[in-house]
């Protein structure tokens, strides 16, 4: 992870800046690993707080540095609100990013390109100050970002009027199938500004990269490619779960939460093939107690084996009668799980998830059918695609209080696990798995795009 591994001259040097959250760090770090195999030097800049909190073992010759988000001792939680956090990150981040670029230049490793998370558009302004290539990396789907672009340009006025949304390259969407920041106008104004402002200076970016693959979102990608120099470079999973060409790439390499690996795998090893329902809502979602209770009893009533990852901070929301129920021998609850290992396990028959893009791509690459319980942000739109476009899962329907009831969830789980529609869903899951692997394998759509990008970087090397 130090520069000693670069004994031969590298072709270019990229500085990579993710938004400090697990679902943003993982794909950008995986992309770095692909660049390193093409003799591109990669420096990865986490926030100070994330750097202190994470468990890291990337196993590649990537250099790690830090910048400040202004809250080095507590990150987002210390800020108290999204608005305060994002404004301070812009100020402190711009200053410390510039300092880092100067430091790397002085060390004899000048930066040729800055690859920055779309959530941090101010990073492009810093790149332009230094005359280096600016590359925006989107960690949400092209479909979702197209919606945000139309909002930013005033082409999709808010609040939404009528009942439906029709945009180029996208299926017909009912209003509630758009991202929650669009559909529920005025909710989470800080995050709304963040996702819409991704496009405030995008015309100045030299490249626009999407963590998806062309075959998955072909129509909307063709439309967006008319606007910018767009390339798909995903899915960004460790090579072990895709093309297997990067022998040491067996894990994401950075975990903000430490997984209960042995407990999960030992338990799964004792279960029959396709008999387990795996439930996880990621690193950020916070479900209410009522929703947690409905999920808990639906898992028990479905009578399937289940593995449920419930973060330590969320476990107090589990119903006490559920935890103490002596008949729960079919279930295992852990605070965090090694998600890729779990999804790859032959015992898994269904993945119940909030439908964040990383979780969706993981399910696609491992051919696991999904049941979606979208919570907010892009998840409702992703769930629309999972059910109606990619046809590899089912969406649950919430009641008037926004709660998915136990009967609804139980019905969806049973349909996916053993129903007629479930058989078709499993076939489609296998189809998308094959296409995802082909995209990143030698000569695939994403592989060619990464080759092209790396070659262009080499030409800009200082």
| pLDDT (tens digit per residue) in 395-418 | 999 999 999 999 999 999 999 999
Fold of 3-254+442-460: Rossmann fold (3.40.50)
Query: For residues 306 and 278, what is the distance between their CA atoms, to the nearest angstrom?
Result: 6
Q: How far apart are the first and last CA of the chain?
A: 22
Q: Average pLDDT of the chain?
A: 94
Query: For residues 359 and 340, what is the distance between their CA atoms, to the nearest angstrom?
Result: 9
Residue range(s) occupied by CATH 3.40.50.2000 in the chain? 3-254+442-460, 260-337+346-436
Q: Which has more confidence, 331 or 5?
A: 331
Contacts of 370 (CB under 8 A, 6+ apart): 350, 351, 352, 353, 355, 360, 363, 386, 392, 393, 394, 416
| Extended beta strands in 158-228, E state | 164-165, 173-174, 207-210
Query: For residues 24 and 358, what is the distance between their CA atoms, to the nearest angstrom?
Result: 9
Is 260-337+346-436 CATH 3.40.50.2000? Answer: yes
Q: Is residue 7's pLDDT more than 60?
A: no
pLDDT at position 56 is: 65
Q: Give the model confidence (pLDDT) of 312-323 as tens digits.
A: 999 999 998 888
Q: Give the model confidence (pLDDT) of 93-152 as tens digits.
A: 999 999 999 999 999 999 999 999 999 999 999 999 999 999 999 999 999 999 999 999
Q: How confident is the model over 85-92, as a mean pLDDT?
A: 98
pLDDT at position 86 is: 97
Q: How confident is the model at residue 286 (pLDDT cuts 50, 70, 90)?
A: confident
pLDDT at position 328 is: 75
pLDDT at position 57 is: 64
Query: For residues 234 and 272, what is the distance between their CA atoms, to the nearest angstrom?
Result: 32
pLDDT at position 60 is: 64
The dihedral sign for the CA sequence 123, 124, 127, 129 = negative
As a whole number of Å, the CA-based R_g of the chain is: 22
Q: Which has more confidence, 325 or 97?
A: 97
Give the least confident one: 219-228, 263-272, 313-322, 403-412.
313-322
Q: Give the model confidence (pLDDT) of 439-454 as tens digits.
A: 999 999 999 999 999 9
Q: Give the model confidence (pLDDT) of 149-171 as tens digits.
A: 999 999 999 999 989 999 999 99
pTM: 0.95
Q: How confident is the model over 257-284, as a mean pLDDT?
A: 93
> Catalytic residue positions?
24, 117
pLDDT at position 253 is: 82
Q: Which has more confidence, 160 or 3?
A: 160
Contacts of 50 (CB under 8 A, 6+ apart): 20, 25, 75, 256
pLDDT at position 1 is: 39
Q: How confident is the model at residue 260 (pLDDT cuts 50, 70, 90)?
A: confident
Q: How confident is the model at residue 3 (pLDDT cuts 50, 70, 90)?
A: very low
Residue found by looking up tokens 């008319």 in the block? 226
Cβ–Cβ under 8 Å, residues 42 and 35: yes
Query: For residues 159 and 174, what is the distance between their CA atoms, to the nearest angstrom?
Result: 14
């Amino acid at each position: 992870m130090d520069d000693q591994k670069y004994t031969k001259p590298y072709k270019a040097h990229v500085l990579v800046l993710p938004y400090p959250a697990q679902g943003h760090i993982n794909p950008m770090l995986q992309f770095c690993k692909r660049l390193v195999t093409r003799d591109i030097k990669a420096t990865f800049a986490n926030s100070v707080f994330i750097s202190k909190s994470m468990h890291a073992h990337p196993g590649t010759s990537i250099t790690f540095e830090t910048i400040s988000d202004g809250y080095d001792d507590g990150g987002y939680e210390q800020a108290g609100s999204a608005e305060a956090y994002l404004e301070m990150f812009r100020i402190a981040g711009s200053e410390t990013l510039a300092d880092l670029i100067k430091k790397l230049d002085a060390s004899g490793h000048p930066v040729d390109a800055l690859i920055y998370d779309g959530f941090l558009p101010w990073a492009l302004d810093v790149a332009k100050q230094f005359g280096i290539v600016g590359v925006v990396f989107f960690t949400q789907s092209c479909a979702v970002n197209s919606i945000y672009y139309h909002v930013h340009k005033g082409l999709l006025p808010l609040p939404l009027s009528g009942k439906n949304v029709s945009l180029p390259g996208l299926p017909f969407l009912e209003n509630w199938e758009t991202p929650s920041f669009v559909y529920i106008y005025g909710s989470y104004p800080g995050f709304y500004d963040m996702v819409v402002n991704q496009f405030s200076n995008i015309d100045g970016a030299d490249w626009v990269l999407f963590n998806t693959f062309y075959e998955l979102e072909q129509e909307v990608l063709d439309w967006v490619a008319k606007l910018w120099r767009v390339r798909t470079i995903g899915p960004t999973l460790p090579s072990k779960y895709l093309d297997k060409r990067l022998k040491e790439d067996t894990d994401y390499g950075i975990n903000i939460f430490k997984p209960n690996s042995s407990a999960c795998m030992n338990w799964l090893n004792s279960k029959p093939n396709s008999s387990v329902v795996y439930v996880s809502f990621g690193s950020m979602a916070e479900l209410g107690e009522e929703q947690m209770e409905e999920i808990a009893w639906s898992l028990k009533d479905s009578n399937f084996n289940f593995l449920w990852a419930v973060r330590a901070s969320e476990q107090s929301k589990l119903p006490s009668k559920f935890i103490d129920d002596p008949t729960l021998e079919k279930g295992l609850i852990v605070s965090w799980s090694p998600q890729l290992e779990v999804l790859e396990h032959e015992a898994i028959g269904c993945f119940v998830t909030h439908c964040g893009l990383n979780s969706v791509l993981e399910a696609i690459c491992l051919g696991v059918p999904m049941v979606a319980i979208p919570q907010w942000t892009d998840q409702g739109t992703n769930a629309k695609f999972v059910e109606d476009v990619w046809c590899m899962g089912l969406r649950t329907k919430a009641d008037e209080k926004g709660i998915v009831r136990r009967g609804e969830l139980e019905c969806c789980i049973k349909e996916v696990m053993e129903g007629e529609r479930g058989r078709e869903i499993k076939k489609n899951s296998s189809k998308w798995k094959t296409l995802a692997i082909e995209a990143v394998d030698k000569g695939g759509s994403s592989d060619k795009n990464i080759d092209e990008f790396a070659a262009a970087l080499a030409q800009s090397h200082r």
